[in-house]
Structure formats: C-alpha cells, structure tokens
Structure 1
C-alpha cells in the first residue's frame, strides 16, 4: 500500500503521530548448524528467546523476485528447522527481496525474522491457501457459512514462536479478497495475515503489516502473548481489516503499535453466541499501551461484538486516536451471553471523533438461528479516567439492553470539546451530546455534563489496578546472528 492512503485529503488536516520505531539491543551469539549458501551481515534483535541454530530462506531455493512462488521453500525450511525444536530452537531469516508465497505453518521454538527490505507477499492464487474447518467458538465462518482459508502465516499447538524483524514487511495483497467479498463471491472466510491457535509464548514484533485480506493479527485460544512495535496499514475503506484481535486469549501485552485500518484497530473477542458460550474460553488479563489509531469508520478498541466466552480484566492506558469513529467501544446483543467486566481505561488523547464513549446493546448479527434469546450479556465494571478529546460530534452514546442494563460505569477527569454539529454531515442540528438508555454508573469532573443516568460524585477517581499482570514481567533477551 502506498503512503497516499495516509496522506489523502481526509487526513491532511490532522497531525498524525509518527510510526513507532522498533528498538534493538545487542546480545548473545546464535550458533549456525544449518549450512548456508547465502551470506548476510551480522545483526542483533530482541526476543523472548534466542536460537541455537539458523538458516536463510534462500538456502531452500527461494527466489525473491516478487513473481516466483516460494510456498514450498518456506515449508521446506520450517520442516528442516523443526528438527532443532528440542536443541535450542532455530531462526529462519528472510533476506531483502519480495518473497511471494501462499500460506505456511510455523513450528515450536522457532523465530521467523524479516530483515529490512524483506517483503513477504501473499499469493492471490486461492489454491495456495489450505482450507480449515470453522472455529469451534464461532460455529461458522465470518464471511461465509462454510470453513475458512488458512492465514498467510499460521501455527497451531505451538510453544515459543516468534515472528519479528528489522521492520520487514508482510503484504497480504488483500485487494483480491476485498473485491471478492464486495461481489459476494466468497464460499469460505477470507484468510488473516497471522493466526496462532492453541499456543503459548508468542511474540509478534517490529514488522510492518499491510493490506491484509481480513484481520491482521489473530491469536486465538492462546496465552502469554506479546505484540509490540507493529505498523499496520490498510485503506480506511477496506473491509474488516482489523489490526490486532486477541480472541479467547489470556495474558496478552500489546504495546507501541501504530494502526491505520478499515475496521477496529484492536478488537478483543471470545466467541459467537451459543458456540462461544459452549466453548467457554474468555479473553482476560490483557494490557494495551501506547497505541496510535486511525480508523474513521470503527473503534480504536472494541470489546466484542463476539464476546460470548467473556472478556475480563482489560487494562488500557496512554492511547491516541485521530479521525477515528470511537475510542473504547463495547459491542454486544441479546443472544451473546458471556460478560464484559473489569475494564480499566486511562490516559486517552483523542482528536476528531464521532463518539468518545460508545456502548451498544443491539449489535445483532448472529451466526445462525440457534442462538438463545434468553442469553443476556453481563456488562459491568467499566472504568474510564483522564481523557482529553477535541472535535467530537457525540460525547456518549450509551445503550444497554432492556431488562439487562450495563452497570458500574465510572468516568472521571474527562474533558471533551464538541465540534460544531451543525456543520457535521448526517447529524441533526440539535443532537444531544449524550444519549443514554439502560445504563447506570457515576461520574466526576466530566465535561460536557453527562446524562442523568450518570450522576455526579465529587472527588471520585475511577479505579485502575495497581498490581501488574504476569505478562508485564516478561523481559526480552538479547540475541545476535553471526554469519
């Protein structure tokens, strides 16, 4: 994707914070035991684990001309390196070049490293994308009722897997898939860029991801995950190009990412209606820090809408949104069941937003007609503090569910500067800054004054946990590659 998408007229009036740059630390030697026909300069990188063995993609016949298909080379390399899983693990280096490939699978105790100017290109040949069954917590594909295509980079039942680089690029070439979706020509759900399932000890860092066919990064049924230093870019009108979507995951750390998206920059999920309720695996113990998001038609962070396994203990701090539809949004509906509780948000800097606060109790898509209309979500303990917002159309649109209100909402130290709504398209001239139904909570020092369902309580500070999640204590090691 060219940078024209970011510099288009719809953004020219906005100051856009620069891309988060990755940092690298020097460290220990990696021993090479796989013969290498190629020579690379030495380099250093940070990772949760270093590797004893290494190889270069070109050792396996790969050609980086952007035209030669390299699916077999990736698979051969990873199969070869998997033999070192129990002997210090292995590092596969993708050197500079354009490496066209279909879907390939990772292995345990393995690092995929993209050098600067290395580009992995997703093939637009559907035969290069294996078919997978539907996810058990969803019961069907999201784009089509049948199964789904494997992601470009896929892994399942793994331990200790790292995808990182010196800001190398993964390009999903998603326009092919977006066009098929718009023409209603999909029989299977579009592939994601990176998906890791049933795994633990995952690191995805210091890369640029562009033009994903659908979601960019999707860890699911996994734990102990660090996602940091990513630049994720997609046209703002591209369909469902969510940035980072932890799904039924525990112990997740998402830090220092920059996302321009056609959908939610981050969406936390845990399954869809009766399938998610039955699978019963929540997303919990998640911290999100230092994100910059641009998404004119979606949220900076969405909780749901598929949240039937539950979402709990999410901590959000020090985030920036520019020209984004909403900040931290809760999406649910009758039939979802599950819960969204113990959500803590502080330190948001927002500029040009349709909504600051948005909660929806009628986000009503269902996988099929088998959902239980008596399955009501429990949404409670939602805390916001220290928020500054400028050029806002609607301060709060808070809609719970009749006979199932959203409770325990707390807002403190919030300053919202409203835009001149008379000049905003599709917004009535007398639109109220707050609209509230079926919710309850308290506020303190919030401007403009919220609705009566959120009464003032002086000198209130909404809570934010003082303890640390276990994933916050995980430190990167210092690794080196020597040719």
Structure 2
C-alpha cells in the first residue's frame, strides 16, 4: 500500500471510529428509557400527544406518508392553545415529502424511526426566493421547500432519542452536478420567522443541500445533533444560522462535504436591504470532519452583518480550515466581535483563513462601494498538528481587516508544508506566544497578551430544559 492510500485508509478509519463512538453516546444523551416510552429534555412539554400511525401512516419505507404527516400536524395544531401537542414517530421507515410544522408543537422520533425524504420532486413544493438572497442559492429561480419546514411559529421542538432523518440526497446531488435543476435544492430542516426553537438528539443524513437552516429567527437551541454527508458532495453544510439571534449550538458531530457550521446573513444588496444580522451565537463542543471546507465559516453571505459569535471547545479532524472568514467587495456590513478558544486541530490544510475576495454574487448589480468591515477577531488556545498552511489572511487592499488577535497558538507542520507559512495582505493585528512566528502585519507582542473572550452569558444560555415524556404505545 502506498503512502497516499495508507493516509486515506487511516483518515477513513478515524472517521468511522469517531462516528461510532459519537453515535453510541448519542443514544444516551438526555434520554432515559422507561416502559413504553422515554423521557427527554425540552424547552417545554406538551399536554397532548399522538402517534403518526393514528393518521394512517405506514412505516414500510415504500408507502408515501406526506398526507399522514400533514393531517397529524393539522389535527395537533388545534391543541396549540390547550397545552400544545407532540407527534411521535414510532419505529419504522417513514417515507414522506415536505411537510410544515405548527406552533407549540413537538416532533419526536423514536431511536428506531427513520424519516426518509422522497425522491419524487412533486412532493416538494416550490417557495419564493429568500428576501435577503434575491435568488435561489443554486439557481436564479425559486427553491424547493425543506423536508421539515415552518414559518411564523413560536415554541417548536424537533427531537428524539437519536432517531434519523434521511434526505436521500443522491439524485439531487447528481442533478445539481449536471446542471439539471432550475431551482435550489431543498434543505432537510428550515425554520423561518420563528422563535423559541429546539432541534436536538437526532441523526441527520444525506440532505439534498444544507441540513439545518434557521433563518430570520431567534432563541434557537441546537444540541446533540449528528450530521453525516459524503465529504465529496458540495453544499451539504451542517448547520447554517442565517439572520438569526440568540443561538446555542452545542455537542454536535458533523461530517460534511462543505462547512460544518456556516454563519450567514444575506447576500450582497439583498442582504444589505433586509439588514438582519446574525448575532449572539455560542458554538461549543463541536467535532467536525470536512476535508474540503471549514469547521466554522463566517459568510460568505454576511451582508446583514455577523457579530458576537463565541466558539469554544471545538475539535476538527481532516478538515480544510478552522474558523474561516469569507467576504467580498459588494457584501457591505460587517463581521466583528468574533471569539474562539480551546480549539484542537488534527490534519488541516489551513489553521487560519480569511479572504476578502470570495467572489460569488447573486448578480452583477452589487454595489462596488459596499465594503465589509472585519474587526475585533480573537483567537486563542489553538493546538494544531499536521498542518500544511498555518495562515492565509487576505484582506481588501483599501479596506483592511483590523483588530485581529491571536494568542497561545501552537502549530505543528506536516511533512511537506507550504514554503510561505504565513501569507498576509490587507490585515492589521497582534500575536502573542504563537508558533511558528506569524507574519509581520500581525505584530508580535513582547509582553504576554491574552486575546479576549467574553465572560458574560448570552440570554439563550439561561434557558433551562425540562423533562418530558414520549410514549410509543397507545394507552
């Protein structure tokens, strides 16, 4: 076996081992088995409950259950003002098209339940383009509704004891590669214009495109999610908060062909017009594997602004970069007040990567004078090994990225690293106790400096979960 094959085999084994360990742990988190059901943690419990099979669903993996899901949600929506309701998806393989959720509602998946997204395009309604994007992400026209969708809702929970939602994305990926789609591929879960959302304790696999997309929403908790997608498929991002505020993303394991987490807020002139930033975000205890993309990306669609993002206790393995800032002339707005600490990186192309020339635009009508402001970026306590390029930091010539701070960073190089270890243009900042030595534009401080990390708590961190019950048998 040659060195390349050996390395690939080692990387594959690492992914499998981490995945199996994480999945094994996932079955236990926040769930306790009791007779004919389980208890689980949630932002709110429900007074009423029903099984999907009460509405004629058949879990054989072949029968289409879109009507059953819709009928169940419609029926349970009548309990919204009477203590709310939960729909329990019992063991089985439940094939369905897109369906909408309702307020004061819980969708709970048994650990042996799999929701399969149908490959019949007619079961995925077409939606208008997002106001802050101005066009579909894949194509200029509209976009397919996500498999699980909701808009203008409050108090929505999608959870389980590690049940699975499978987007069956392969045909969508193939059509995308061949240019056969006129509208944007569907996401797995999308919640719009909503508040008080919980997505937890699930395995999400093979989305046609992004897996979790909260947009124009607030007070969102995403916990204990496993996301698995082929690493060679484009735009299968894990979790993409978009023009949202007060988010807590924690204890997630993501293998993806694109960014594990991508923080966004709209695209060029459309995002500037809508003007909804993503702000007050905490991301912690994340494990990411993404050989072609970032652990956490900020942008590239950031035209509503991104601020106050806190990343801590993150591990990335065989991933292209750690925390990447992506922007361009025409984006406008800002990426500021970004904090990261206790980041462990193993086998990386880049540790630090920032670009002001990302380049993709919805059309040619963007404003060339709309320059993004990138400032107050704080990275500390990074340990990285087997790294090809410590840093590629490219600001904009007449719009430098300012206030970059890096402290207590240790980078071990791969066997054949790039000749220029730190490639820096259009940036300003400082470093302290960083090895190998940073570029001259990041001034090395003679006295120790500890880059900032906020000690206050976000409002979303104060939300306490309560213990709820899901029964799998009729009483």
Cα distance in 1 for partners of 2:8, 2:125 equals: 36
Cα distance in 2 for partners of 1:308, 1:99 equals: 39
- SS of corresponding position for 1:367: coil
Partner residue of 2:324?
A: 329
Q: Does 1:461 align with 2:450?
A: yes
Deviation at 1:23, TM superposition (A): 1.9
Contact persistence 1:26–1:479 (CA under 8 A)? no
Q: Does 1:448 align with 2:436?
A: yes
Partner residue of 1:164?
A: 159
Partner residue of 1:45?
A: 40
Q: How many corresponding residue pairs?
A: 459
Contact persistence 2:422–2:438 (CA under 8 A)? yes
Partner residue of 2:191?
A: 196
Deviation per CA, 1:115-146, whole angstroms, max 9, x where unpaired?
01100000000000000000000000011100
Partner residue of 1:206?
A: 201
Contact persistence 2:31–2:161 (CA under 8 A)? no
Deviation at 1:10, TM superposition (A): 6.1
Relative to structure 1, is the Cα distance of residues 185 and 25 closer, same or farther in structure 2, using a 3 angstrom cutoff? closer
Partner residue of 1:253?
A: 248
Relative to structure 1, is the Cα distance of residues 25 and 95 closer, same or farther in structure 2, using a 3 angstrom cutoff? closer
Cα distance in 2 for partners of 1:43, 1:267 equals: 33
Q: Does 1:54 align with 2:54?
A: no
Partner residue of 2:30?
A: 24
Cα distance in 2 for partners of 1:156, 1:125 equals: 23
Contact persistence 2:347–2:385 (CA under 8 A)? yes
Partner residue of 1:439?
A: 427
Contact persistence 2:322–2:351 (CA under 8 A)? yes
Cα distance in 1 for partners of 2:11, 2:54 equals: 44
- SS of corresponding position for 1:206: strand
Q: Does 1:131 align with 2:137?
A: no
- SS of corresponding position for 1:108: coil
Cα distance in 2 for partners of 1:10, 1:106 equals: 42
Partner residue of 2:9?
A: 9
What TM-score do the two structures reach when normalised by structure 1? 0.93
Partner residue of 1:34?
A: none
1:473 pairs with one of 446, 456, 462: 462
Contact persistence 1:224–1:252 (CA under 8 A)? yes
Q: Which range moves more in the overlay, 282-291 or 472-481?
A: 472-481
Cα distance in 2 for partners of 1:62, 1:259 equals: 30
Partner residue of 1:64?
A: 59
Partner residue of 1:387?
A: 382
Contact persistence 2:422–2:439 (CA under 8 A)? yes
Structure 1 unaligned segments of length 5 or more: list them: 1-6, 30-39
Deviation at 1:14, TM superposition (A): 3.9
Deviation at 1:361, TM superposition (A): 0.6
2:148 pairs with one of 124, 131, 153: 153
Q: Does 1:408 align with 2:414?
A: no
After TM superposition, what 4+ stretches of structure 1 lie above 6 angstroms from structure 2?
Answer: none
Deviation per CA, 1:275-316, whole angstroms, max 9, x where unpaired?
000000000000000000000000000000000000000000
Q: Which range moves more in the overlay, 453-462 or 437-446?
A: 453-462
Deviation at 1:26, TM superposition (A): 6.4
Deviation per CA, 1:196-217, whole angstroms, max 9, x where unpaired?
0000000000000000000000
Contact persistence 1:25–1:478 (CA under 8 A)? no
- SS of corresponding position for 1:455: strand
Structure 2 unaligned segments of length 5 or more: list them: 1-6
Q: Does 1:306 align with 2:295?
A: no
Partner residue of 2:4?
A: none
Partner residue of 1:112?
A: 107
**Superposed CA RMSD:** 1.5
Partner residue of 2:234?
A: 239
Q: Which range moves more in the overlay, 280-289 or 12-21?
A: 12-21
Q: Which range moves more in the overlay, 151-160 or 450-459?
A: 450-459
Partner residue of 1:4?
A: none
- SS of corresponding position for 2:140: coil
Deviation at 1:455, TM superposition (A): 1.1
What TM-score do the two structures reach when normalised by structure 2? 0.95
Cα distance in 2 for partners of 1:400, 1:92 equals: 49
Partner residue of 2:336?
A: 341
Cα distance in 1 for partners of 2:374, 2:434 equals: 22
Contact persistence 1:84–1:90 (CA under 8 A)? yes
Deviation per CA, 1:169-206, whole angstroms, max 9, x where unpaired?
00000001000001100001000000000000000000
